[in-house]
Amino acid sequence: MEGLKDNKVAEGLEKTESQLDELDKMLEENRLDDALKAIEDMEKSLEELSKQLDEDMDDLNQETNPEMQKAISELMDQTRDLMKQQQELNDATDNALKEYEDCLGKILSETLKGPYDSLVERGGKVRALVERVDPDDVPSYMRSEIDEAGQRADQFNSALARPELVDALEAVERLVDSVETIERAVRMAGTVPSEATRDALAQSKALSREMARDAANLLKQFDVIKRRECDKFQKPVAMPMPTPSPGEDGQPQPDPGQPGQTGNGQAQAPPPGEGQPGENGPPQSPGGRQRQVAEGARRLQQRIGENGERIPGLPPQMGQKAGNAAQAMDQSAENLDQSRPGDAKGNQRQAMNELQGIMEGLKQAASPQRADRGQGQRDGEGREVSRKKVEIPGAEDHESPAEFRKDLLDAMKDKAPEQFQEQVKRYYESLVE
């Protein structure tokens, strides 16, 4: 218990004993005003002591509640198992995405290296040609178009470097439009540009058109090779069914809610497209396996809802987190079915984050921390200590200071005040449990 571990209760008792000694001295010296002030201070100290005892008893009750701890443990096991299965899917998706990207890179670095390198070289040349256009040779309303042409040349070179051939083609086509627009404006203005500007516009126009044509051809060749050699990596390899966790007898226990098993534990033929039997059970497509994990997340959401009242310290958003995880898993399954591992990766990351949040919430419930201490608010079955002012007698309520002192000392010799008897009783019971 936090209060006992931090010696707060012992310190409170020592403080009260010291205050009693001081009060006794004040009464002997007939310092009634000081004595009344000391009684008010003692009242506050006793309220704090009562509150600490009450909170410690609540913590002890939660920490020694076997039913609650069992419910938390089961939810943590279920969450941990889902995290393990999701991580296996995440790893398979990452591996497939890496193989796919490596395959794409080889197309441009090996199969289509010549035409790709030629476009990279010409991209640098056209950028230099655009810079040679003198703004003074261009109508004022068209000078911003020179900057546009330069930006589009930069976008083309950047897209090639990533490499993103579709973006590169779009950028070079926009570059052609910019250069032709500038040249047309110069011609219609009726002025004679410098020879350098005239040559730069003519060469950049011819070169950008040539680049647009070659970029379109490169993209077509790239797509043909990609479909033939790389698309197979877009979908992760089929994964075996997970082995059921052992039960109390040490034997694998079937989950009636798991796909691929009947309610009596008998193996069930996988649905079409979900794979063929393998070493550890029938393999599944990644999309099918992802849907299975999503169903597990929904079962977790249901169990969190069913156990909410048994775990008063469980954060209220845990059920929603399980639902969010299931939804992200569904989206991941759809992306995996459509051969979009890059999109599926983002969904899987979100699902894992939600599961990690649930685990943190369960750990918090298993080791409750009283963040609301000192605020007068109590959760669950805890009671709030009364803040009602205790009436303190004035000097006029006694015949003399001597009688007032005698009444107070007599009260100190009696047993604990009634409002503190239950807390004291619970405190001593906890020490012998």
Question: What DSSP letter does each residue of 199-210 carry, written as one string?
Answer: HHHHHHHHHHHH
Token pair of 157 as six digits: 């070179």
Q: Give the whole-angstrom CA distance, residue 276 versus residue 273.
A: 9
User: In the predicted model, what is the mean pLDDT of residues 168-188?
Assistant: 95
pLDDT-derived band at 369 (thresholds 50, 70, 90) equals very low
Give the pLDDT confidence score for residue 196 in this predicted structure.
94
State the pLDDT at residue 322.
Answer: 95
**Using CA atoms, how far apart are residues 426 and 433, in angstroms rounded to an integer?**
11
**pLDDT at residue 255 tops 60:** no
Q: How far is it, in rounded angstroms, from Cα 7 to Cα 107?
A: 71
Residues 71 and 21 sit within 8 Å (Cβ to Cβ): no
User: In this prediction, what percent of the chain has a pLDDT beyond 90?
Assistant: 43
Check residue 10 and give its pLDDT.
65
Contacts of 275 (CB under 8 A, 6+ apart): 238, 282, 283, 284, 285, 288
User: Are 49 and 291 in contact, with CB atoms under 8 Å apart?
Assistant: no
Mean pLDDT value of segment 158-162: 93
User: Regarding predicted confidence, which is higher, 240 or 13?
Assistant: 13
What are the tokens at 234?
């877009």
Residues 6+ positions from 432 with CB-CB distance below 8 Å? none
pLDDT digits (tens, 9 = 90+) for 119-137: 999 999 999 999 999 999 9
Predicted local distance difference test score (pLDDT) of residue 388: 44
Q: For residue 42, what pLDDT is reported?
A: 78
In the predicted model, what is the mean pLDDT of residues 340-367? 91
Q: Which segment of 44-58, 81-95, 214-228, 418-432 scores lowest on mean pLDDT? A: 418-432
Contact status, residue 221 vs residue 214, Cβ threshold 8 Å: no
Closest CA to 218 of 116, 369, 322: 116
Q: How confident is the model at residue 250 (pLDDT cuts 50, 70, 90)?
A: very low
**pLDDT band for position 34 (cuts 50, 70, 90):** confident
CA distance 319 to 358: 8
C-alpha Rg value of the chain to the nearest Å: 39
Whether pLDDT at 66 is above 50: yes
User: If pLDDT is split at 50, 70 and 90, which confidence band does 277 have?
Assistant: very low
Q: What is the pLDDT of residue 273?
A: 39
Tokens of 112: 């289509």
**Per-residue confidence (pLDDT) for residue 260, from 0 to 100:** 43
Nearest alpha-carbon partner for 241 in 279, 272, 273: 279
Q: Looking at per-residue confidence, does 181 or 264 come out higher?
A: 181
| Predicted confidence band of residue 315 (pLDDT cuts 50, 70, 90) | confident
Hey, how many other C-beta atoms are within 10 angstroms of the C-beta on 278?
Answer: 13
pLDDT band at 195; cut points 50, 70, 90: very high
- Alpha-carbon span 429 to 285, nearest angstrom: 58
Per-residue confidence band for 426, with pLDDT thresholds at 50, 70 and 90: low
Please give the residue that has the higher pLDDT: either 135 or 242. Answer: 135
pLDDT at 302 over 90: yes
Distance, CA of 324 to chain centre: 11
Q: What is the pLDDT of residues 385-415, one digit of tens each?
A: 444 444 444 445 444 455 655 554 555 445 5
Mean pLDDT of the chain: 77
